[in-house]
Structure 1
Amino acid sequence: MLRKVLYITGTRADYGLMHNALELLDNDENIQLEVAVTGMHLMEEFGYSLDEVKKDNFNLHVIDQTFLKDDEQSMSSFIGNLICDLTQLMGEINPDIVLLLGDRGEMLAGAIVASYLQIPVAHIHGGDVSSTVDDSARHAITKLSNIHFAATEKSASRIKQMGENPDNVFVVGAPGLDSIIKIKDNIDETYLREKYNIAKDFILVLQHPVSLEVEDSANQIKQTLDAVTSTDYQVLLVYPNADAGGRAMIEKINEYDVDAYKNIPHDDFIGLLGLASALIGNSSSGIIESSSFKLPVINIGTRQAGREKAENVIDVDYDSNEILNALNNIKSDDYQDKLNNCINPYGDGKAGENICKILNELDINDDLLNKKFFELE
């Protein structure tokens, strides 16, 4: 009998990170993959990435819930409405396992629903620390989950510190690296330069609003744009996510002469990481995927403050002068030595294989569902 796995996706980011793993699950003869699509995927102003998802021909379930406004109340209402819709969906398709990644509200909603319906939850990237309010959601999802796919040993240790069963904590690596292993040696530079009108050396900018700094979002992206537009680099910018503060950032972005994209297909984005002179912003891509390309990263602000980082990452504040100084510093001999010797702490690009194998072999029983608190020895 096929094991039915439901993955919930709410953004282009989580879907891109999980793409390779989802393909493996979909092609596994013992697994029936179902994908629930909602949130930012359905928003035209953020690129309507549902069209990209449809190309993969997975068994899709579209849940028509989006962020109506650019504020915290809209985010909270979205999560509440999504809980209702996911309750109906899970009742209809009756998954054996609900698979989630990260710390976003869509994932928290999925974990709450599955927990109350007594469906095991498998959570990817639990135990990570970003030192923002998002950690609260991530750790809440961990406590609602039954199977834990940690990206690193440190993250696995934190999960165990939260009282989770060590036998259900697996270090699998970061699934975002899987696609890189497949793509990095086959980047079509000519195609990408023509498609994105890249005429010279360029930098990528990907910056999102921060939960506790929403009112500062516009000024934060202004500091970044003031810095990058004062250089000779061409600037390719990808829109921020749809969280509170995102629309204010977009309004500010529209005041600058940069090549701004609502959405870039995941394979294209990976290819651009391999060609760029630097990545600037606060995306987890700068922390997790970038070092596989030996790509200079200028990480701005607090959003990724607690993450494990390779030597290619330079941390700066929301200040145009600091950003510009860091951009100049990437050419120094000292930084280039660090860059050339940096090692990615997030695995070997086989997370999808590991996840697929574990989900195949997992014994779903009462012990898995009836969670106990495990004291540290």
Structure 2
Amino acid sequence: MIKKVLYITGTRADYGLMHDTLKLLNEYECIHLDIAVTGMHLMEEFGYSLDEIKKDNFNLHIVNQTFLKDDNVSMSIFIGNLIVDLTQLMSEIKPDIVLLLGDRGEMLAGAIVASYLQIPVAHIHGGDVSSTVDDSARHAITKLSNIHFAATEKSASRIKQMGENPDNIFVVGAPGLDSIMKSKDNVDKNYLLNKYKINKDFVLILQHPVSLEVDDSAFQIQQTLDAVMSTDYQVILVYPNADAGGRAMIDKINEYDVDAYKNIPHDDFIGLLSLASALIGNSSSGIIESSSFKLPVINIGTRQSGREKAENVIDVDYDSNEILNALGYIESEEYKNKLKTCQNPYGDGKASEKICKILKDIEINVDLLNKKFFELE
């Protein structure tokens, strides 16, 4: 019997992290994979990454919902409209499992729809904490999910604390590491140096708005750019997410003479991580993927404050002086020694294999759908 799996993607980030898992899942003869594409992928101002997705030849369904304005009201309207459209899509294609990653609104909308249509939800990266309001969405998705793919033992423990069935919680690692472990030693350095016009040591900036700090978004990226632009590093900046505050950040970025990219293909981004002198900002890439490269990371602000972190991560505030001091610290012998021995807490780069096997083998029945609250022993 063929099992139909629907994955929902709303950003270049989630798609890049899931690429290897989706590719492997699509190779299973007993799996039919559909992908719903929405949100940031469909926005020209953020690079229209749908074009990149089409190259992978998956079975795509375009769900034409985007953020109309740069505020929380527009985000809420987007999620509401997406619930309507995803209800129609799932009613038509009738997936056996809905696969979701992380904490974004697209994923929450998908979890709500699947739950009401009595379709099992498999959730990746549940139980993580970032100590921001996004955790509420992540934990809500966990409570709407039936199958849990945790990245770490700590995350699995938190899922258990939420009363989920221990038999349906699987520690698989972070799927974003899979492509890194396969390709990090095969980077085409000359190709990347030429494509991105890199002619000296460079840093990557990847910084997003924070839900409860929307009004400060422009100031926050200004502090980062003021610090980095005062150094001798070449700067490659990737646009922020299309969340409330994102457009204000872009307006501020445009005031600087900096190489800013709306979208960087995932394989290129991995290659740039392997070549960069540092990654600066507040992306989860700096927390989850970076230590596999022994890459210095300057993690700014609150967005990732609750995450498990390796020794390569330096936490600073939204302050140009602190960021500059951190850039100096990464050159110290003390830090370089930490970098040599840092270990990635997010797995071995084999999450895709584990996730796909579980999805292939798991039995969909009343017990899976009829969720009960499991007390901690």
TM range (shorter): over 0.9
Amino acid of the structure 1 residue aligned with 2:169? V
Q: Deviations over 1:279-313 (max 9, x none)?
A: 00000000000000000000000000000000000
Q: Distance in 2 between matches of 1:343 and 1:32?
A: 36
How do residues 87-236 of structure 1 correspond to structure 2 at under 5 angstroms?
Answer: 87-236=87-236
- CA separation in 2, counterparts of 1:2 and 1:34? 13
Q: CA deviation at 1:183?
A: 1.1
1:184-212 Cα shifts (integer Å, max 9, x gaps): 01000000000000010000000000000
Q: CA deviation at 1:127?
A: 0.1
In structure 2, what is the Cα distance between the partners aligned to 1:169 and 1:241? 30
Looking at structure 1, the residues matched to 30 and 233 of structure 2 have their Cα atoms a distance apart, in angstroms, of: 49
Counterpart of 1:51? 51
Distance in 2, matches of 1:119 and 1:303, equals: 31
Paired residue secondary structure (1:61): strand
- The AA in structure 1 aligned to 2:94 is N
Aligned to 2:294: 294
Aligned to 1:357: 357
- C-alpha separation in 2, matches of 1:52 and 1:155: 31
Size of the aligned set, in residue pairs, is 377
2:152 partner amino acid: T
CA deviation after TM superposition for structure 1 residue 363, in Å = 0.9
Please report how far the alpha carbon of residue 30 of structure 1 lies from its aligned counterpart in structure 2 after TM superposition: 1.1
1:310-325 alignment, distance < 5 Å: 310-325=310-325
Question: Could you list the per-position Cα deviations for residues 221-269 of structure 1 after superposition, in whole angstroms to 9, with x for gaps in the alignment?
Answer: 0000000000000000000000000000000000111100000000000
The aligned residue for residue 238 of structure 1 is 238
Q: Distance in 2 between matches of 1:257 and 1:293?
A: 28
The whole-number CA distance in structure 1 between the counterparts of 2:189 and 2:258 is 20
**TM-score scaled to structure 2, two decimals?**
1.00
Aligned partner of 1:252 in structure 2 is 252
The alpha-carbon deviation at position 182 of structure 1 amounts to 1.4
Q: What is the CA deviation profile of residues 117-150 of structure 1, one whole-angstrom value per residue up to 9, with x for unaligned ones?
A: 0000000000000000000000000000000000
2:216 counterpart SS class: helix
Structure 2 match to 1:12: 12
User: 5 Å matches for 1:14-33?
Assistant: 14-33=14-33
Question: Shift in Å at residue 171 of structure 1?
Answer: 0.2
Q: Determine the C-alpha separation between the residues in 2 that align with 1:181 and 1:20.
A: 11
C-alpha separation in 1, matches of 2:363 and 2:332: 53
Unaligned 5+ segments in structure 2 are none
**Aligned counterpart, 1:37:** 37
- Aligned mates of 1:338, 1:256 — CA distance in 2: 33
Q: What is the CA-CA distance between 1:166 and the residue it aligns to?
A: 0.2
CA deviations over 1:15-58 (Å, ceiling 9, x no partner): 00000000000011110100000000000000000000000000
Q: How far apart, in 2, do the equivalents of 1:38 and 1:206 lie? A: 21
Query: Identity of paired residues, percent?
Result: 84
* Counterpart Cα distance in 1 of 2:361 and 2:164: 20
Which residue number in structure 1 is paired with residue 269 of structure 2? 269
Q: Give the whole-Å Cα distance in 1 for the aligned partners of 2:216 and 2:96.
A: 42
Instruction: Give the Cα separation in 2 of the matches to 1:183 and 1:253.
Output: 31
Structure 1 spans left out of the alignment, 5+ residues: none
TM superposition score normalised by structure 1: 1.00
CA distance in 1, matches of 2:35, 2:351: 19
Corresponding residue for 2:80? 80
Given residue 138 of structure 1, which amino acid in structure 2 is its aligned partner?
R
Separation in structure 2 between the aligned mates of residue 315 and residue 185 of structure 1, nearest angstrom: 28
Structure 1 residue runs of 4 or more that deviate by more than 2 Å after TM superposition: none
- Partner amino acid, structure 1, of 2:304: Q
Paired AA for residue 27 in structure 2: N
RMSD in angstroms over aligned alpha carbons? 0.3
Instruction: Provide the rounded CA distance (Å) in 2 between the counterparts of 1:91 and 1:183.
Output: 39
